[in-house]
Chain A
Amino acid sequence: MLEIRNLHARIAEDGTEIIRGLNLTVKAGEVAAIMGPNGSGKSTLSYILSGRSDYEVTEGDILYNGESILELDPSERAAKGIFLAFQYPVEIPGVATMQFLKVALNEQRKYRGEDELSTPDFIRRVKEAAAKLQINPDMLKRPLNVGFSGGEKKRAEILQMALLEPKLCVLDETDSGLDIDALKIVSDGVNALRSPDRAVIVITHYQRLLEYIVPDSVHVLYKGQIIKSGDKSLALDLEANGYADIIDAAA
């Protein structure tokens, strides 16, 4: 489903290279975990997947279902099914959450040649999804993410994901800021989306999330490269021993 080949990318503004020859393959149905020290480029990778223009790809390619997505803008990638749950969801004053959800959903449907949802159908879907994630409906009356607590923002990201039903879900530290109960609820939400035609990339620092969302593969990202890949036992190993040995071995 996703194939990243020898990807090099830099910050558009100052040319600093962040991703330095990264290779990663994630198959349909797979849950892949990406771990790695702070500043290693995990969020940058997720932004590049989503098409954020602050980064420039200088070499390599990203294939999604066999096709390069480098020329697609963020909204096209989203409509094709790529979803990024942000590490730091953005507050947008003045944009009503419900309005935003409706426009996003219908614009994606339009792009794919599907009919727009009727308002009652839309509202029903939002209510169902919000109930599953135990999101207070009053929250959805507020402007997008404005004044949401850290954990509420993360839940709201997963709500968006549940509604938009993407094919490739990238979760950037969705577990940070969640309390213990919320971690369980959100993980259930992600697991509910697991399916043979969908892939999930979970970026996290902690083994705990991976106890709920059990990964098929675990990858260590360091200085813009994947320096080690393994199965779920790799995460346990990292939890016990830290990154030092792996980094040394790769050097």
Chain B
Amino acid sequence: MNMQTAITMTAAETALVDAYTAQIGELPGEGAVLSARDSLLANLRQQGLPTRRVESWHYTDLRALLRSVPAFDPTAFAQRVDPLVSGSSVLAVLNGKADTKNLPAGINVRSYAESLIDGVAAADLVERDQDDAIGRINGSFVRDGFEIEVPEGTVLEQPLEFQLVQSAGQSHSRFPVTFGANSKATIIERHLSVNDAASLVTVVSDLILDEGADITWIILQQQGASDSHLAQVNFDLGTNAKLRLFIINAGGKLVRQEVHGVTTGEGADFKLRGINLLGNETHTDVTFTLGHDVPNTTSTEILRNVLFDRAKGVFQGQIRVAPDAQKTDAKMACNTLLLSDDADFSAKPELEIFADDVQCGHGATVIDINPTHLYYLRARGIPENKARAMLVNAFVDEIVEELEDEGLIETLETIIAAWLEKHA
């Protein structure tokens, strides 16, 4: 292990280590928070960024792909935009700094900076495992975000939107959110970039769903074509809790979205729905692990990927069923529409099943546009390019339609259609 220190650091590794030295005086938190940061950075420095030799990073060699890291840019300016769904409560993080004006009522919310300052955050700043590069980078540099508790029984009628707007430099945010028993809410985690300047954005969300909580969490990632986006959602589902996690990647140059969950209460249900719209030179990786740790829990995962140009996509999905987690029902599917010979998608589904009375399955397909569908549309007068766009759209729209909320569906459809129009 110590041999690793002998490796010359890459430009990005050097930039991260130097940025830490330069920034640490500015970052919120002392004592336990500071020592947690120090030890995460020490690990980062010692181990370097993960390469393809690290199994969980095999398809995304972060060390090779993260060529550079933009310097922190305290002068960069970013401002709020209208929420995705009108009427939503917006919690904005602008260039990494939480905007604490007009915090929504009905939930307990404070900026994560406060949590760092009073030291509560220290317990969060840990690595999931020794390959947790995202936890390591984010934990070293995290500056803000929001800490939220949705009280027991609270039903949020309107979505809550985390709006992360980035104009330049780096931002590292964190969102610990506890959903009380029987609470119900739709959360939109939205990543925007307002210009072409390269940014590095990391974000870690830690979700705890108490008994009977029913949550829809939508991640809409629309960063710029030169941005790096490293994100992680961790969740813990209690008894009869339901989490529907929608991920739409429609931007970024280097994107890694990790999702790690466990079901800890019987009757818990998890749904992952992912749409990866990949164009240009993007490298986008969705890595998912789920532990069905107790009996009678269910999950389904469906990913739809559309690739143009020289895009590269990765889906790693691992479902583990613990020895006594009988009656687990887990289904995973990853479907890819490859629209360019130069694009490439790697899918690695994995089931590790230690219980005997379970229903688990996975499938991965790579398809092309169905020629009969294309012909039918053309035979009705729709020109070929338009017909193609409709079918690509249809491929991903089946997922969007599952959202049930008409306003939200329409908004997302518009975003997807615009993206496809630009890249087709």
Interface residues, chain A, with chain B CB atoms under 8 Å away: 50-53, 73-75, 77-79, 84, 86, 89-90, 92-95, 99-100, 103-105, 107-108, 111, 143, 160, 164
Is B386 touching A107 in the complex (CB atoms < 8 A)?
yes
Is A94 touching B376 in the complex (CB atoms < 8 A)?
no
Q: Which of B160-168, B216-224, B388-396 contacts A (4 or more CB under 8 A)?
A: B388-396
Is A108 touching B373 in the complex (CB atoms < 8 A)?
no
Q: Mark B350-371, 1 if CB is under 8 A from A, else 0.
A: 0000000000000000000000
Complex CA distance for A160 and B395, rounded to whole angstroms: 23
Q: Is B110 an interface residue (CB 8 A)?
A: no
Q: Is B157 an interface residue (CB 8 A)?
A: no
Which 8 A-B pairs have CB atoms at the shortest separation, nearest pair first? A94-B394, A78-B381, A108-B381, A74-B378, A104-B380, A90-B376, A75-B378, A95-B394
Across-interface contacts of A78 in B (CB, < 8 A) = 378-381
Q: Is B322 an interface residue (CB 8 A)?
A: no
7 contacts between A and B (CB under 8 A): A51-B378, A86-B376, A92-B394, A93-B394, A94-B397, A104-B377, A107-B381
Q: Is B372 an interface residue (CB 8 A)?
A: yes
User: How far is the CB of B232 from the nearest CB of chain A, in Å?
Assistant: 30
Across-interface contacts of B76 in A (CB, < 8 A) = none
Is A92 touching B376 in the complex (CB atoms < 8 A)?
yes
Is A104 touching B373 in the complex (CB atoms < 8 A)?
no
Q: Is B27 an interface residue (CB 8 A)?
A: no
Across-interface contacts of B382 in A (CB, < 8 A) = 75, 103-104, 107
Is B384 touching A75 in the complex (CB atoms < 8 A)?
yes
Across-interface contacts of A50 in B (CB, < 8 A) = 379
**Which of A53, A86, A99, A164 lies in contact with B381, CB distance below 8 A?**
A164
Across-interface contacts of B380 in A (CB, < 8 A) = 75, 78, 100, 104, 108, 160, 164
Complex CA distance for A79 and B377, rounded to whole angstroms: 12
What is the interface of chain B mostly: helix, strand, loop, or mixed? helix
Complex CA distance for A113 and B394, rounded to whole angstroms: 28
Name the CB-closest residue of B to A108: B381
Is B372 touching A79 in the complex (CB atoms < 8 A)?
no
Q: Is B387 an interface residue (CB 8 A)?
A: yes
* A73-B384, A90-B372, A90-B373 known; A95 vs B378 contact (CB < 8 Å): no
Name the CB-closest residue of A to B390: A95
Contacts beyond the supplied A50-B379, A51-B379, A94-B401: 18 A-B pairs with Cβ under 8 Å = A52-B379, A73-B378, A74-B378, A75-B378, A75-B379, A75-B381, A75-B384, A78-B379, A84-B379, A93-B394, A93-B398, A94-B394, A99-B390, A103-B382, A103-B386, A103-B390, A104-B377, A104-B382
Name the CB-closest residue of A to B373: A92
**Which among A73, A86, A95, A160 has the highest number of chain B CB atoms within 10 Å?**
A95
Is B375 touching A52 in the complex (CB atoms < 8 A)?
yes
Name the CB-closest residue of A to B397: A94
User: How far is the CB of B424 from the nearest CB of chain A, in Å?
Assistant: 15
User: How far is the CB of B216 from the nearest CB of chain A, in Å?
Assistant: 21
Complex CA distance for A94 and B413, rounded to whole angstroms: 12
Q: Mark B390-424, 1 if CB is under 8 A from A, else 0.
A: 11011111100100000000000000000000000
Complex CA distance for A79 and B382, rounded to whole angstroms: 8
* A95-B390, A103-B386 known; A79 vs B376 contact (CB < 8 Å): no
Across-interface contacts of B106 in A (CB, < 8 A) = none
Complex CA distance for A104 and B387, rounded to whole angstroms: 10
Complex CA distance for A77 and B227, rounded to whole angstroms: 46
Across-interface contacts of A104 in B (CB, < 8 A) = 377, 380-382
Across-interface contacts of B384 in A (CB, < 8 A) = 73, 75
Complex CA distance for A236 and B372, rounded to whole angstroms: 36
Across-interface contacts of A107 in B (CB, < 8 A) = 381-383, 386
Complex CA distance for A164 and B381, rounded to whole angstroms: 9
Is B375 touching A74 in the complex (CB atoms < 8 A)?
yes
User: How far is the CB of A181 from the nearest CB of chain B, in Å?
Assistant: 27
Across-interface contacts of B390 in A (CB, < 8 A) = 95, 99-100, 103
Name the CB-closest residue of A to B400: A94
* A53-B375, A86-B376, A103-B386 known; A92 vs B391 contact (CB < 8 Å): yes
Across-interface contacts of B375 in A (CB, < 8 A) = 52-53, 74
Across-interface contacts of A164 in B (CB, < 8 A) = 380-381
User: How far is the CB of B244 from the nearest CB of chain A, in Å?
Assistant: 19
Across-interface contacts of A95 in B (CB, < 8 A) = 377, 390-391, 393-394
Complex CA distance for A74 and B384, rounded to whole angstroms: 9
User: How far is the CB of A142 from the nearest CB of chain B, in Å?
Assistant: 11
Across-interface contacts of B377 in A (CB, < 8 A) = 92, 95, 100, 104
Complex CA distance for A73 and B378, rounded to whole angstroms: 8
Complex CA distance for A72 and B397, rounded to whole angstroms: 31
User: How far is the CB of B414 from the nearest CB of chain A, in Å?
Assistant: 13
User: How far is the CB of B39 from the nearest CB of chain A, in Å?
Assistant: 49
Is A94 touching B395 in the complex (CB atoms < 8 A)?
yes
Name the CB-closest residue of A to B389: A103
Is A75 touching B391 in the complex (CB atoms < 8 A)?
no
Complex CA distance for A50 and B376, rounded to whole angstroms: 10
Across-interface contacts of B386 in A (CB, < 8 A) = 103, 107
User: How far is the CB of A202 from the nearest CB of chain B, in Å?
Assistant: 18
